[in-house]
Amino acid sequence: MQNLNEDNNKSRRKFSITRLRFLLVAFAISFSLAGCQQFVIISYLLHGPPSIEPDFDAETGESMSIPDVTVAVVCFAPTELKWKFPQLDEQVATHVSFRLGQNHITMIHPDYVKAWIDEHPDWEKAEEIGEAFKADYVIEIELADFSLHEGTSTTLFRGRTEAYVHVVKIDEDGYADRIFTKEVDFSFPTRVPRSSYDQSQTAFQKEYLSRLSEKIGWMFYDRFHGDMIGWAN
C-alpha cells in the first residue's frame, strides 16, 4: 500500500511539472506576440476557450438554463417520413430532451410527454403540452425532410435533416406565445459520406440522431468553437 501511495505521489508530481512546463511555454509564446494576441492567449489559459452564446438567448434575452425553468420537447414528422422511419418523431424528441438535460436544462421526461400524447390523440397545439406539465417553454421540432443516405446511394451514409425549431413560452396565466423560430439544414458527416460496409444503418442512425440533437441543442446552451471538427467523416 505504501509503494502504491509513493507511485501515485510521483505521478502527481510529474503531472504538475509537465503542466507547469506547458504553461511557461505558452506564456513565453504569448509574450513574444504583439498586441491583444497576448491577452487572448492568457485569457484562454486562465478561463478556457470562449463559448458561443445560444441563439435562443441572444435573440430573446431569455435562457432555459435558469433554475426552476422547465422545458418540454415535442416533434412533428410528416406521414411519409414516418412510413420510412417509424417513431422518428419520438426518437428526435427523446434525443434532444436528453441532450438538453445533459447541459443543465430541466426537462420534462420524454416518456411522460409521449404518454400524454398517446392519451390525447386529438391535441393540436404545443402549448397544450406545456399547460399539462406546467412547463415554462415547449420546444417544437417540425421535420420537413429526413434521410440517412447520400443522395440516391444505398451504400453511402450521410444523414440530412431539414426542419424548423420553434419555442412556445407559457406564462403564469397560461398565455402562450411563440417567441423563437430557427431553420435547421444539417448534414452529417459534414464533409464526406461514410460507407455502409463499415457500419450498420441502425448504428449510423443512432449516431446521426445524437449529432442532430447536439446541433439543435446548441440553440439553447453554450458551445465552443471547434466542436464540429470531428464531424467531417
What is the spatial distance between Cα 56 and Cα 72, in angstroms, rounded to a whole number?
Answer: 15
Q: What is the mean pLDDT of each run of 10 residues along the chain (233 residues)?
A: 44 47 51 49 54 96 96 97 96 98 97 97 93 97 98 96 98 91 98 95 97 98 91 93
Contact (CB, 8 A) for 107 and 101: yes
How high is the pLDDT of residue 10? 47
Cell matching residue 226: 471547434
Position 172 scores a pLDDT of: 85
CATH number of this structure's domain 52-231, picked from the four choices 1.10.10, 3.40.50, 3.30.2420, 1.20.120: 3.40.50
- Kindly state the cell numbers that stand for 111: 416518456
CA distance 72 to 93: 9
Q: Give the pLDDT of residue 162.
A: 98
pTM (two decimals): 0.80
